[in-house]
Amino acid sequence: MITNATLGVAFLVLGFAATVLQLWLWTFPMVPDPGGPDPHGKTSAPPFWRMVHRVLGYGFVLIYLALMARMIPRIPFLEGETADTATWIHLALGWIIGILLVGKVVILRFAQEWGNRLRAVGVILFLATLVMLGTIARPAQTFASLPATTVAERQTKALISENCGTCHGAMPLFHGDDSWSHVLEEMQEIAQKSSRPDPLGSRGSEMAAYLQKVLPRSERREERHRERESEREDD
């Protein structure tokens, strides 16, 4: 979760910088370029800043690929409480950004006659990035702000971030009706069924205790959990 948050911030910063620079570069007029690849001519923008914009674009794509490499393995687990509306919007925008990036490359390399659309594509890319990250910003920030005053708490928090983050983001930590011990047991069962590493190991009790301390369940939720356990025993 912490890694994703860091990549997300870098992704947004690069996207913003690239978009602002692109809009500035488009203020320079196009000059005729007979026989050139773009029928609209070629830009008179400074070559140095065009190169900077290209480097920002490469960085944006690399971070996008890194984020997708972390997001795609989570897709099979997007069900129930691990996938609310914000999660699905986040996922959809992630794919849309990929499509826009491919479209931008196609225009640059093979369809230069559409080059005058690149400014609009760049703005849409940034807006999609902003909304995509906005859908998960609050739970990610909330998780990052959870207290960890001792070495043991910091280690446990990092363990939760890494192990729970392989299947879902921070959102499910702030929803749900079951006790933390039951939630972690379910995580363990899901990992076993999907042949994934055990997310708890020998530290399940420490993880549950930390979550109970920093994110205590309400009495109503605990009562509902006890009712579920009683129903299971009756069955």
Rounded to the nearest 5°, which phi and psi values hold at 42? -125, 155
Rounded to the nearest 5°, which phi and psi values hold at 84? -90, -175
Task: For 173-186, write each residue's pLDDT tens digit.
Answer: 766 556 788 788 88
What's the alpha-carbon Rg for the chain, to the nearest Å? 23
Task: For 194-226, write each residue's pLDDT tens digit.
Answer: 777 778 888 888 888 888 888 876 544 545 555
Does the pTM exceed 0.85? no
* More reliable by pLDDT, 100 or 167: 100
Contact 173, 215 (CB under 8 A): yes
The residue extents of the domains of the chain are 2-141, 151-234
* E strand intervals along the chain: 30-31, 42-43
